[in-house]
Amino acid sequence: FRTHQFNKVEQFIFCLPEQSWEMHEELLRNAEELVQKLGLPYRVVNVCTGDIGSFAAKKYDIEVWMPAQNRYREIISCSNCTDYQARRLNIRYREKEGAPPKGVVHTLNSTALATGRTIVAILENYQQEDGSVLIPEVLRPYMGGVERIEPLKSF
């Protein structure tokens, strides 16, 4: 499941401290919506503090079912870093133009989709008995109307 190159689409938020917990839930909703639209079976894991490192105050993982591996695997991580990164980078906010800095912003980030892992999940979950792979409906407009990828025929 590890590859030498990891591509992904990422979401970032810089917000006021009093907004960060609601923004964290919004990031999670955005990520869940993408997985739901792809029709992938998934679960949300609230990661325990011992597994999230020192930078994040709270982290969710979204894991999708991988039939060939007979287990759920992480494709999305969603973290609220509160002020940890902003303090190190000295990212502050002002209440209005020209006013002195009031405080440090909160930073949040979430994978929207880990592209390689998502493709693996689609291939595994949409493969048919004949070896073909159905294209999730939401992706069909981007596939020129192709609904199914057929296996190559031998010569």
Count Cα atoms within 13 angstroms, Cβ side, for 17: 14
| 15-34 per-position pLDDT tens digit | 999 999 999 999 999 999 99
| 44-101 per-position pLDDT tens digit | 999 998 899 889 999 999 999 999 999 999 999 999 999 999 999 999 999 889 888 8
pLDDT for position 92: 95
- With left for phi above 0 and alpha for psi between -120 and 50, is residue 144 left, alpha or beta? left
The fold for domain 8-129 equals: BirA Bifunctional Protein; domain 2 (3.30.930)
Which among 101, 61, 54, 62 has a CA at the least distance from the CA of 82? 54
The domain spans of the chain are 8-129
| 120-129 per-position pLDDT tens digit | 999 999 999 9
Backbone φ and ψ for 73, nearest 5 degrees, come out as -130, 145
